[in-house]
C-alpha cells in the first residue's frame, strides 16, 4: 500500500539503521498514546520528551549529518528524510516542526566552507541538540534585500551583531542559530552562527501559542569572530535560497503525514456511524468525498516521492528539481487542505472534538501552504520554467526510483541560484501517452488546449507583470507538471490503472476549475477567454471503476489504523 500504516510498517530498507530510526520513532509515539499527545497539544507543552528520545536514539545525528562528518550510519539521504518527515507529521505537526527548522538551520552550515563549525555541528547533533534558521524579520519577512541585522567591525578583525529576527523556530534552545545579516563596512550579506544561550542573545518571546517555540530574538552587541562566519557575499545569498530548496520541500511531506492519519480516523468514524439506519459511508455524497480525498492523498505522495528522485539525481547539468521542488511545496500542501476539507464535510462536528487527531489536523494543515508565503512565492517561481517546459524539451536522462543509501552531496553544493531561464526539461508527453485511460486522455486534451493558448495568445508584457493573472496561469501549469510526476511514479510503483483514472477524474475537474478562474480574470483577453472555454471539460464517469476504487481502496481502510490511546 502506498500510504503509511504505522502498525504494519514492514517495508524494506536498504540498511538496518534506516529501518531502526523509523520503527523506533513510530514506537515512541504509539507508546506515548493519543490521549497524552492531545493533552500536550492543548496545554502547549514543550516537547522535551520527544527531544530526549531523539537524543537517546541519535535520531537527528543519523538523519541530518552528511557523510564524512559523523558516524558510519550518518548521511543526508532525501529519500529517508521524506519518510521521517511523513512519520513525524503523522503524529503531529509540532514534532515535525522542531526537526524541520533544525534542517533549515543546518543548511547554511553544511553549505559553508567553515570546517570548524561543521565539525562542531556534527558533534552537537551527536549530543542531540537542535538548530534554528535566523532569516526572517518582523518588518520585512524573508526579504533578503531588506535585512536589518547588522554586523559592525570591532577593529580587532571581529564584528558586533545587532538586530532582531522574528518567527524563528527553536530560537529558545537551538545550539546554533544560522543568522542572516549584512556587513556594514562592505554591504555584503553574511551568514554567521550564534548560540541561543549566549548572554548577548535575548530570546524575546514565543510569537505563537503552541508547543513549538516560534521565537523573536535579539542580538545586542553579540561578538562575532571570523570563526563564526559561515558565508558572505554571493555565497551567503545562495545559501539562503538553496537552504529553502532543501528544507521547505518537507512542507509537502508534513501535509502527507497529517492527511494520512486524519484519513484513517475519519473513514473509521464514518464507516461505524449510522444515521437514519444507514452507515454514513453508504451515502453517495460521503463516498464521493472520501474517494476524492483518497485520490488526492495518493497523488500527493506519488508526486512528492517522484520529486525527491529528481532532487537526489540533480547536478549542475540537470536542475529539473528546481521546478519539481516548488510544485511539492505549493501544490502538495494546498492539496492537503482539500483532503482535510473533503473529510471534514463528512465527519462534520466530529472534526472539532478535543480528543481527535482530526482537530489538530484541521488546524495545522492550514499552516503549510502559508509558511513564507508558500503559494504565491512558489507559483511565481514555477511560471519561470513554463516556456522551456512546453516548447523546448531536451534529451535528458531518465531518472529511476532513488531509494539507494547514498549521501546527497549536490544539495549542499548547488551553486548559483541564477540562470533559471536556461533550465531544460524532458518531454512530458510520452508518459501521458503510455496511459490510455479515459480521464488521462481528457486531461491530455486540456493540456494541449492550454499549450495552444500560450502559443497563439501568449500573455503580453502587462499580463506578465500582473501577479493575479500569473497566479491563475501558474495553477494550470502546475497541474500539468503534477500530472506528469504522478504518472511517472504510477509506473514505478505499479499503481492500479483504475485508481490512476480515478485520480485523473479529480484532476480534470481541477483543471476546469482553474480555467474558469483564468477566464474570469479582468486582464484575460477575449482571445484567451475563448481558449479557456476549450479547456473546460467534464471527466469521464464510470460507475464500475468508482465502485471498485471505493470498495478495494477507500472503504477497505475503515479499520486499517487506530492510534494507541
The pLDDT, as a whole number, for residue 140 is 87
Task: Please indicate, yes or no, whether residues 150 and 271 belong to a single structural domain of this protein.
Answer: no
Where residue 161 sits, what CATH number does that domain have?
2.40.110.10
- Same domain for 369 and 381? yes
Per-residue pLDDT in tens (0 to 9) along the chain, 565 residues: 899 999 999 888 999 999 999 999 999 999 999 999 999 999 999 999 999 999 999 999 999 999 999 999 999 999 999 999 999 999 999 999 999 999 999 999 999 999 999 999 999 999 999 999 999 999 988 888 899 999 999 988 899 999 999 999 999 999 999 999 999 999 999 999 999 999 999 999 999 999 999 999 999 999 999 999 999 999 999 999 999 989 999 999 999 999 999 999 999 999 999 999 999 999 999 999 999 999 999 999 999 999 999 999 999 999 999 999 999 999 999 999 999 999 999 999 999 999 999 999 999 999 999 875 568 888 888 999 999 999 999 999 999 999 999 999 999 999 887 888 899 999 999 999 999 999 999 999 999 999 999 999 999 999 999 999 999 999 999 999 999 999 999 999 999 999 999 999 999 999 999 999 999 999 999 999 999 999 999 999 999 999 999 999 999 999 999 999 9
Q: Which of 232, 265, 294 is the last residue of a domain?
A: 232
504's grid cell: 485523473
Nearest to 128 by CA among 107, 98, 104: 98
User: 44-62 burial by CB neighbour count: b if 16+ within 10 A, else e?
Assistant: eebbeebbebbbebbbbbb
Among residues 319, 467, 365, the alpha carbon closest in space to that of 93 is found at: 365
Domain that holds residue 165: 132-232
For the record, the C-alpha cell of 204 comes out as: 524575546
List, in sequence order, the alpha helices (H) in 383-428.
Answer: 386-391
- Where does a domain end: 129, 151, 168? 129
**What is the torsion angle, in degrees rounded to the nearest 10, for the CA atoms of residue 140, residue 142, residue 144 and residue 149?**
60
In a domain, 419, yes or no: no
Query: Same domain, yes or no, for 368 and 473?
Result: yes
Would you state the pLDDT for residue 372? 57
| Among candidate residues 83, 106, 129, the one where a domain is terminated | 129
pLDDT at residue 269, as a whole number: 97
Statement to judge: residues 318 and 466 lie in one domain = yes
Confirm whether 413 is domain-assigned. no
In a domain, 439, yes or no: yes
Same domain, yes or no: 76 and 20: yes
CB 502 within 8 A of CB 443: no
pLDDT for res 4: 97
28 & 136 share domain: no
Task: Take residue 356 and report the three cell numbers written for it.
Answer: 481527535
How many domains would you assign to the chain?
3
Same domain, 289 and 434: yes
Evaluate whether residue 259 is within a structural domain: yes
Q: Rounded to the nearest 5°, which phi and psi values hold at 466?
A: -90, 100
pLDDT of residue 365: 97
Contacts of 564 by beta carbon, 8 Å cutoff, 6+ apart: 30, 31, 33, 34
Going through 294-343 in order, the beta strands assigned E by DSSP cover none
412 domain-assigned: no
Q: Please give the pLDDT value at position 373.
A: 59
* Angle of CA points 154, 160, 165, to nearest 5°: 165
Establish if 18 belongs to a structural domain.
yes
Q: How far, in Å, are 124, 463, 536 from residue 556 at the CA level?
A: 45, 48, 33
CATH number at residue 17: 1.10.540.10
Please, are residues 309 and 402 in contact by the beta-carbon 8 Å criterion?
yes
| All cell numbers assigned to 139 | 518588518
pTM as predicted: 0.97
Residue 416 pLDDT? 84
Amino acid at each position: 500500500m502506498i500510504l503509511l500504516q504505522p502498525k504494519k510498517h514492514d517495508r524494506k530498507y536498504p540498511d538496518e539503521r534506516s529501518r531502526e530510526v523509523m520503527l523506533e520513532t513510530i514506537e515512541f509515539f504509539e507508546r506515548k498514546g493519543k490521549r497524552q499527545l492531545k493533552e500536550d497539544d492543548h496545554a502547549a507543552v514543550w516537547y522535551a520528551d520527544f527531544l530526549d528520545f531523539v537524543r537517546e536514539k541519535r535520531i537527528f545525528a543519523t538523519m541530518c549529518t552528511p557523510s564524512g562528518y559523523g558516524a558510519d550510519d550518518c548521511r543526508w539521504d532525501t529519500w529517508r528524510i521524506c519518510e521521517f518527515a511523513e512519520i513525524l507529521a503523522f503524529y503531529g505537526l509540532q514534532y515535525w516542526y522542531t526537526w524541520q527548522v533544525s534542517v533549515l538551520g543546518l543548511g547554511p552550515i553544511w553549505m559553508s566552507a567553515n570546517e570548524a563549525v561543521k565539525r562542531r555541528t556534527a558533534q552537537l547533533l551527536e549530543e542531540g541538540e537542535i538548530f534554528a534558521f535566523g532569516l526572517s524579520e518582523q518588518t520585512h519577512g524573508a526579504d533578503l534585500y531588506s535585512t536589518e541585522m547588522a554586523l559592525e567591525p570591532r577593529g580587532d578583525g571581529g564584528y558586533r551583531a545587532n538586530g532582531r529576527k522574528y518567527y524563528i523556530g527553536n530560537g529558545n534552545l537551538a545550539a546554533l542559530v544560522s543568522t542572516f545579516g549584512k556587513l556594514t563596512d562592505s554591504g555584503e550579506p553574511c551568514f554567521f552562527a550564534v548560540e541561543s544561550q549566549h548572554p548577548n542573545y535575548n530570546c524575546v518571546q514565543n510569537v505563537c501559542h503552541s508547543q513549538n517555540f516560534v521565537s523573536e530574538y535579539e542580538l545586542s552587541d553579540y561578538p562575532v569572530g571570523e570563526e563564526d562566519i559561515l558565508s558572505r557575499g554571493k555565497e551567503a545569498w545562495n545559501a539562503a535560497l538553496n537552504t529553502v530548496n532543501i528544507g521547505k520541500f518537507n512542507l509537502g511531506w508534513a501535509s502527507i503525514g497529517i492527511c494520512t492519519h486524519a484519513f484513517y480516523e475519519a473513514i473509521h468514524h464514518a464507516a461505524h456511524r449510522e444515521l437514519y439506519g444507514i452507515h454514513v459511508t453508504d451515502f453517495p455524497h460521503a463516498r464521493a468525498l472520501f474517494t476524492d480525498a483518497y485520490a488526492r492523498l495518493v497523488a500527493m505522495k506519488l508526486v512528492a516521492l517522484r520529486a525527491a528522485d529528481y532532487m537526489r539525481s540533480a547536478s549542475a547539468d540537470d536542475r529539473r528539481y528546481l521546478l519539481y521542488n516548488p510544485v511539492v511545496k505549493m501544490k502538495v500542501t494546498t492539496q492537503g487542505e482539500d483532503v482535510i476539507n473533503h473529510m471534514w464535510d463528512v465527519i462534520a462536528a466530529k472534526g472539532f472534538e478535543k480528543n481527535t487527531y482530526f482537530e489538530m489536523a484541521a488546524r495545522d494543515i492550514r499552516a503549510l501552504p502559508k509558511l513564507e508565503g508558500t503559494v504565491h512565492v512558489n507559483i511565481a517561481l514555477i511560471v519561470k520554467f513554463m516556456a522551456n517546459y512546453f516548447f523546448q524539451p531536451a534529451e535528458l536522462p531518465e531518472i529511476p526510483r532513488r531509494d539507494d543509501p547514498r549521501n546527497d552531496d549536490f544539495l549542499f553544493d548547488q551553486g548559483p541560484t541564477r540562470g533559471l531561464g536556461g533550465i531544460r526539461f524532458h518531454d512530458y508527453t510520452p508518459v501521458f501517452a503510455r496511459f490510455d485511460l479515459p480521464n488521462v486522455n481528457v486531461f491530455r486534451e486540456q493540456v494541449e488546449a492550454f499549450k495552444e493558448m500560450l502559443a497563439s495568445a501568449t500573455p503580453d508584457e502587462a499580463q506578465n507583470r500582473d501577479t493575479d493573472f500569473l497566479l491563475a496561469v501558474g495553477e494550470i501549469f502546475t497541474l500539468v507538471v503534477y500530472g506528469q510526476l504522478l504518472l511517472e511514479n504510477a509506473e514505478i510503483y505499479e499503481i492500479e490503472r483504475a485508481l490512476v483514472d480515478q485520480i485523473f477524474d479529480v484532476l480534470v475537474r481541477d483543471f476546469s476549475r482553474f480555467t474558469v478562474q483564468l477566464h474570469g480574470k479582468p486582464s484575460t483577453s477575449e482571445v484567451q477567454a475563448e481558449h479557456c472555454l476549450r479547456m473546460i471539460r467534464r471527466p469521464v464517469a464510470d460507475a464500475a471503476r468508482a465502485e471498485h476504487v471505493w470498495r478495494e481502496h477507500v472503504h477497505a481502510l475503515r479499520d486499517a489504523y487506530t492510534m494507541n490511546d
